[in-house]
Amino acid sequence: MVAVAVAGVLLGVGVPSFRDGLLSNRAKAVATDLHLSLLLARSESLKRSTDIDIKATGGDWTTGWVVEIQTGGTDLRSNDASDGVTIKCGTSPTSSSGTCGTTITFGRNGRPTNYTEFRAYITDKPAIQARCVSISLSGQPRVTVDTDSDQDNGCN
């Protein structure tokens, strides 16, 4: 009987942290998918010597995105929405996603036409570490982790 009580206490403590771990992995997966899409767009723009677009599905990055060749519209990669993960631009999850635009174009030189930082976070649990995906001036994307769980100062 004591063993059952101990097991019950351990489960009561462990299940919430296990759920948070799963949610954290979900935000990490979305940031990784976005990072890979940016790398693909940059690589394809250099390889094909043409402009490559990454477009938000339905005008909102949270609902997914597609990487496509600008002329002809051939899809190279598409990503669907992920349950419970929100993607916003800038450093605050409360900022408007309309401020970043719905298309990022990598020119034939591998550089994007606009520089944006995306923030992927769990909608219901802002205390879970968010992931930020940013593009450098050379066009190289990178992923950083929000270490202080402060929504207002971005990933640091």
The tens digit of pLDDT for each residue in 64-114 reads: 999 999 998 899 999 998 888 888 876 444 444 446 788 999 999 999 987
Is the pTM for the entire model greater than 0.85? no
Query: Collapsing DSSP states into helix, strand and coil, what is residue 148?
Result: coil
**Which residues make beta-bridge pairs with 80?**
64
Burial of 85 (0-12, 13-18, 19+ CB in 10 A): buried
Confirm whether 152 is domain-assigned: no
The mean-pLDDT minimum among 14-18, 107-111, 147-151 falls in 14-18
Confirm whether 116 is domain-assigned: yes
130-147 mean pLDDT: 86
136-143 mean pLDDT: 87
Cα–Cα distance between 42 and 108 in angstroms, integer?
A: 8
Instruction: Count CB atoms within 10 A of the CB of residue 40.
Output: 16
Find out whether 66 and 77 touch, Cβ atoms under 8 Å: yes
108-133 mean pLDDT: 83
Confirm whether 153 is domain-assigned: no
Query: Collapsing DSSP states into helix, strand and coil, what is residue 49?
Result: coil
Number of structural domains (the chain) is: 1
Domain that holds residue 14: 2-145
CATH of the domain at 55: 3.55.40.10
The model's confidence at residue 12, banded by pLDDT at 50, 70 and 90, is low
Confirm whether 151 is domain-assigned: no
pLDDT tens digits along 23-66: 778 888 999 999 999 999 999 999 999 999 999 998 888 899 99
Confirm whether 13 is domain-assigned: yes
Cβ density class 15-27: b for 16+ within 10 Å, e for less: eeeeeeeebbebb
Q: Residue 138 pLDDT > 70, yes or no? A: yes
With vertex at residue 66, the alpha carbon angle to CA 70 and CA 79, rounded to the nearest 5 degrees, is 165
Confirm whether 81 is domain-assigned: yes
Confirm whether 154 is domain-assigned: no
Q: What pLDDT, on a 0 to 100 scale, did the predictor assign at position 6?
A: 64
Confirm whether 56 is domain-assigned: yes
The model's confidence at residue 7, banded by pLDDT at 50, 70 and 90, is low
